[in-house]
Amino acid sequence: DGGITQSPKYLFRKEGQNVTLSCEQNLNHDAMYWYRQDPGQGLRLIYYSQIVNDFQKGDIAEGYSVSREKKESFPLTVTSAQKNPTAFYLCASSPTEAELFFGEGSRLTVL
């Protein structure tokens, strides 16, 4: 069953802790993306990766880090430097420059 899997679906963290969100795809897509969504807002691009071992900053990369060691995986780490990390995080992939396929999202809450 092809698709994009994000985990965990819900995550709680204490202030000052780093947390890593997982994103795995078995669609054989080259490009992967991370977006952040706040209540009532659109999607803002955090990082994107066009190909393995390469990634670029999006519009709001500060306080986040990523890696792309495998084609199938694009984990996002929310670091303690991110001042307002509570949000809905969406991962997507696409076959090069075509339409995006999104995962179901991970909701992070900082306590």
Partner 1 sequence: DAKTTQPPSMDCAEGRAANLPCNHSTISGNEYVYWYRQIHSQGPQYIIHGLKNNETNEMASLIITEDRKSSTLILPHATLRDTAVYYCIVRAAPHSGGSNYKLTFGKGTLLTVNP
Q: Which two tokens stand for residue 50?
A: 């066009």
Give CA angle at 15 (14, 18), nearest 5°.
Answer: 80
In the complex with partner 1, the residue whose CB is nearer, 55 or 82, is 55
CB of 89 to partner 1, least distance (A): 10
In the complex with partner 1, the residue whose CB is nearer, 8 or 17, is 8
Tell how strand 106-110 and strand 10-13 pair up: parallel
CB 10: neighbour CB atoms within 10 A? 10
- Residues near partner 1 (CB under 8 A): 4, 31, 33, 35, 40-45, 48, 50, 56, 58-59, 88, 90, 92, 96-105, 107
CB of 59 to partner 1, least distance (A): 7
Taking the C-alpha atoms of residue 102 and residue 97, their distance in angstroms, rounded to an integer, is 14
In the complex with partner 1, the residue whose CB is nearer, 2 or 40, is 40
